[in-house]
Chain A
């Protein structure tokens, strides 16, 4: 089969490199070999599928971490620090000055933190025998950062004379840690259940933390599943119980007449999300009903599900306190700016995932900065709504074609979901099935996964 043909010719066919004449000639030859033709067709499809994979955004602080690592390497005289061919005197001098300044700042930060650590440790220890660690700063007594504060580093900082700046910077970091700790402590006192908070942006961050027995318990702000509670350096405890709790799975079936079933489903998802339900698997089928009653239907169906399942009623479905996921649709050229702005706010329990023309904003819990991020996003979207949306709707109305799934998500954030994008009547008959999971407590971590039946991975359904 394949051996009869030239490998480069076949590659050219798959890659689309052949001239029209070459391609026509090759395809004539392929007629005689349907197996090879099918194989090459499949290879072309694989190629397209690979090329269609969504590009992924790099982690937000990747470059920042690299810079921190470089500073640390320079400070510790790491053997892997920049080496190479001899550099020009100008290059070398520039680096010495730059790195010395940074090294001095780091050294002072480390020493100040090491000294102040002992005075603030009581803030991190919860009263009584609470199972939950409230906040955990990375400046633990055995962190490598402390090692930086040796005499050599102190001498270096004095030489460069950046003591004042470093002291100021360390004080800011410390104040932030105190603020977060106090907030988490207050949450626990009110009966809440905060996630473990880790200052992963801290220049002193060490991930994962090592505890007795060498087990990593905390990684990037999330408690790793399956780990036992252990005393961490500084006296904190990690949760003894799983932080994930499945509650109920509600199957919602809505009959909607729409020209645009996917758009309709998207609106339903938005509605559910706004009302603190997690939509797991939206499925759209064909069948009719009325769009204008959508919101009422959602509530009614949830109630019907409770009526049909006494167990469900007795367990009392209690929505999460905060929406976990918000899809933000803004003009493409505005999105990067907004993402930068949101990252600058640095919510401890929020992640931003840019994808295509929208960004998905996930939050795993409340926090002052996380709330600020949501408010900021809502404000910006009101200021700069997607300009294509009205035009797209107009085209849809005129041509009976769907414009895509762009929706006015600003309103979603403001909890005023407009149902108008779902075109009334006149469309194909549609049925929308949504599987919705309701969480009792908004304590899911971003890395927690959900099984197809709505059960958090590794947990049993009640």
Chain B
């Protein structure tokens, strides 16, 4: 959608046109959903949180002043809603981050359809394992770290856009991003070591 189209839709929606508002939500729903999904790691929760975020977007749409891009503003709301959800979830302790039940849902995010560069069987196993570790490592990260990684890698925002979403200076974004990448790598290494140890002990037990 061109900026002009978007601008027209925003103006129309601002005047209370539900159809225009619906079109804006419709156009950005997948982007919002993906950001939320990678934050909350659960498709069902992501649907709920995205829906709540959309309700907030509509409710506060007249507060959008056009200083940032609409998508940035929307994603800020979705991100805040995700963080709020994570806090509540942690508080309730109703769902363990190590819950195997989530694993299957996470697999939805992995490549599950053959593409044009189908890897060999060994590569495929390694790739799947890597993706599983990646999801789990992301889950285990501090929400600030997870947030900056989601915005940078999943939504592929530039530093300035991330700064606008998180409402922090660009320098803070860079610093946080580096520390997030470092934390992710450390968590990945921990998971890989744990996995290797488990395999070794299972092999020893069989033999």
Report A's interface with B, CB cutoff 8 A: 2, 7-8, 10-11, 14-15, 39, 42-43, 46-47, 49-59, 62-63, 65-67, 69-70, 73, 80-85, 87-88, 90-95, 98, 262, 266, 283-285, 327, 355-358, 360, 403-406, 449
A83 to B60, CA, bound (A): 7
In the complex the two chains form, is B50's CB within 8 Å of A58's CB? yes
Grouping DSSP codes into helix (H, G, I), strand (E, B) and loop, the B interface class, with mixed when no group exceeds half, is: helix
Q: List 24 A-B contacts (CB under 8 A).
A: A7-B178, A11-B181, A43-B182, A49-B130, A51-B154, A56-B33, A56-B34, A58-B29, A62-B51, A63-B54, A67-B18, A67-B22, A69-B51, A82-B59, A82-B61, A83-B59, A84-B60, A92-B16, A285-B121, A355-B113, A356-B113, A356-B115, A405-B115, A406-B116
A291 to B133, CA, bound (A): 37
In the complex the two chains form, is A98's CB within 8 Å of B113's CB? no
A14 to B180, CA, bound (A): 12
- CB contacts under 8 Å to A, within B171-187, are 174-175, 177-178, 181-182, 184-185
Convert B96-140 into 0s and 1s, putting 1 for each residue whose CB lies closer than 8 angstroms to a CB of A.
000000001000111111111110110000000011001000100
In the complex the two chains form, is A7's CB within 8 Å of B175's CB? yes
Is B86's CB within 8 Å of the partner chain A? no
In the complex the two chains form, is A46's CB within 8 Å of B188's CB? yes
Q: How far apart are A351's CB and chain B's nearest CB, in angstroms?
A: 11
In the complex the two chains form, is A50's CB within 8 Å of B154's CB? yes
Q: Which residues on A sit within 8 Å (CB–CB) of B87?
A: none
Q: Which residues on B sit within 8 Å (CB–CB) of A93?
A: 16
Neighbour of B113 across the interface among A7, A63, A81, A360, CB < 8 A = A360
In the complex the two chains form, is A14's CB within 8 Å of B16's CB? no
Closest to B104 in A: A449
In the complex the two chains form, is B43's CB within 8 Å of A84's CB? no
Q: How far apart are B25's CB and chain A's nearest CB, in angstroms?
A: 5
Neighbour of B181 across the interface among A14, A84, A262, A405, CB < 8 A = A14
In the complex the two chains form, is A62's CB within 8 Å of B118's CB? no
Q: Which residues on B sit within 8 Å (CB–CB) of A2?
A: 182
Q: How far apart are B174's CB and chain A's nearest CB, in angstroms?
A: 6
A82 to B110, CA, bound (A): 37
Q: Which residues on B sit within 8 Å (CB–CB) of A63?
A: 22, 25-26, 29, 54
Convert B6-44 into 0s and 1s, putting 1 for each residue whose CB lies closer than 8 angstroms to a CB of A.
000000001111100010011001101110011000010
Is B70's CB within 8 Å of the partner chain A? no
Q: How far apart are A70's CB and chain B's nearest CB, in angstroms?
A: 6
Q: Which residues on B sit within 8 Å (CB–CB) of A82?
A: 58-62
A323 to B103, CA, bound (A): 25
Closest to B187 in A: A46
Neighbour of A91 across the interface among B29, B62, B112, CB < 8 A = B62
In the complex the two chains form, is A54's CB within 8 Å of B55's CB? no
A429 to B121, CA, bound (A): 15
Q: How far apart are B100's CB and chain A's nearest CB, in angstroms?
A: 9
Beyond A58-B32, A63-B54, A90-B15, list 8 extra A-B contacts (CB 8 Å).
A46-B181, A46-B185, A56-B43, A66-B55, A69-B51, A80-B59, A82-B59, A404-B117
Is B63's CB within 8 Å of the partner chain A? yes
A51 to B149, CA, bound (A): 10
A275 to B204, CA, bound (A): 41
In the complex the two chains form, is A91's CB within 8 Å of B177's CB? no
In the complex the two chains form, is A53's CB within 8 Å of B109's CB? yes
In the complex the two chains form, is B33's CB within 8 Å of A62's CB? yes
Q: Which residues on B sit within 8 Å (CB–CB) of A58?
A: 29-30, 32-33, 47, 50
Q: Which of A8, A66, A90, A406 has the most CB of B within 10 A?
A: A66
In the complex the two chains form, is B116's CB within 8 Å of A39's CB? no
Q: How far apart are B53's CB and chain A's nearest CB, in angstroms?
A: 9
Convert B134-152 into 0s and 1s, putting 1 for each residue whose CB lies closer than 8 angstroms to a CB of A.
1000100000000001000
